[in-house]
Amino acid sequence: MTERIVLAYSGGLDTSVAIGWIGEATGAEVIAVAVDVGQGGESLETIRQRALGCGAVEAYVADASDEFADEYCMPTLKANALYQGHYPLVSAISRPVIVKHLVKAAREFGATTVAHGCTGKGNDQVRFEVGIQTLGPDLKCIAPVRDLALTRDKAIAFAEEKGLPIETTKKNPYSIDQNVWGRAVETGYLEDIWNAPTKDIYDYTATPEFPPAPDEVTISFEAGVPVAIDGVRVTPLQAIKELNRRAGAQGVGRIDVVEDRLVGIKSREIYEAPGAMALITAHKHLEDITVEREQARFKATVGQRWAELVYDGQWFSPLKRSLDAFIEDTQKYVSGDIRMTLHGGQAIVNGRRSDTSLYDFDLATYDTGDTFDQSMARGFIELWGMSAKVASGRDIRVAGK
């Protein structure tokens, strides 16, 4: 029986050429796998037909947009996950769901190898291959660009020679990856980190310099998940899309950062994540009134480590699974409403309410009705500073000898 290879297929030039390139290099049949994670653009049927037209023997397509929103974006939101404090893991969280469908397709079609279009310089090769090793440890992995010398100029020449049903261009200044959680842009003139991004690279966000009138929105959460916007019930996918639209119109969610890649180099990235950043902002503010102080402090550390694990391709790791359990426990009371104004590139919270809030007005107020017993403060301070006071006395005593 002829060997079969499953290929993560986007419908673009590189992966379209990779179908025939892999076949010629290995003698294997190629099954193209396309997964919709809310990236927009062409229909799955159009992509499926193109894969078959480029020589795939089978084409597996999956609409995973709701799955992606529910099972990947929502855990990211609950963790308030921002890699290095900036990046909402746009590409990093889409790879595990694609891996899941790659392995599923490999089982369905009897493939022994999984292929992806990543280079040897980026993070995604790790995310794909570690995920595949975890979910399908018997499967082999190849990367045509990295392992089979498929460069862009060779891809264009191959496509023209074979008459493949795709558009080819010798100059595309950017590398772009997008899904419903956001959009990532890199390479080209952006690699000079002194160059400011130009307006043409943005698609999910309007320029914040000339915004429309402020847009006030109320987001309702239940157990850390957005369930309504301005009182209208929504699914997680609908919540992200609606805030992509409204926050994007105000220029919210533009991120320009130099980040530390897993492979040891620094890389300049431009991100657009209007819905993600608006939701994370709202979620953080709701946690401020519903999560106990020490739990919240520790959760910030857990969320940072969670983001690092996911960025580094460890979505399916035991540690990430354990951190998930802790984060999920913290979300028990994260229910309520957050009101925020979207305007001029900012999402500013100006109201919060919750039936499970830890905020006690009578304890917090300085006006009549204050129930806080201030007489307790003196003794509390004495005890709180006792350890440092004793140590300071020791230091003075020893220094005087």
**From 4, 48, 124, 127, the catalytic residue:** 124
Q: Find, among 205, 210, 200, 199, the residue nearest to 182 by Cα.
A: 205
Q: Do residues 93 and 78 lie in contact, with contact meaning Cβ atoms separated by under 8 Å?
A: no
Q: How far is CA 244 from CA 42, 85, 193, 198, in A?
A: 19, 20, 27, 21
Return the ∠ at Cα 10 (arms to 123 and 155), rounded to 5°. 85
CA distance 116 to 351: 46
> Which segments within 16-132 are labelled E, that is strand?
29-36, 58-63, 113-115
- Known catalytic membership, residue 95: yes
Beta strands 336-343 and 215-222: pairing type?
antiparallel
Question: CB pairs under 8 A, 24+ apart, for 172-178?
Answer: 174/201, 177/90, 177/91, 177/94, 178/39, 178/40, 178/90, 178/203, 178/204
Cα(222)–Cα(199) distance, rounded to whole angstroms? 37
| Amino acid at position 58, single letter | E
Catalytic annotation, pick one of 63, 66, 152, 175: 175
Instruction: Spot the catalytic one: 4, 14, 127, 267.
Output: 14
* Dist CA 400 CA 259 (whole Å): 50
Phi, psi of 245 (to 5 degrees): -70, -50
- Catalytic residue of the set 4, 95, 127, 183: 95
Buried/exposed 276-315: b ≥16 CB within 10 Å, e otherwise: bbbbbbbbbbbbebbbeeeeeeebeebbbebbbbbbbbbb
Report the phi/psi class of residue 89: left, alpha or beta, with left for phi > 0 and alpha for psi in -120 to 50: left
CB atoms within 10 A of CB 369: 8
- Mark whether 124 is an active-site residue: yes
Question: In this structure, what token pair is assigned to residue 20?
Answer: 């025939």
Q: Where are the alpha helices (DSSP H) in 318-359?
A: 318-330
| Residues designated catalytic | 14, 95, 124, 175
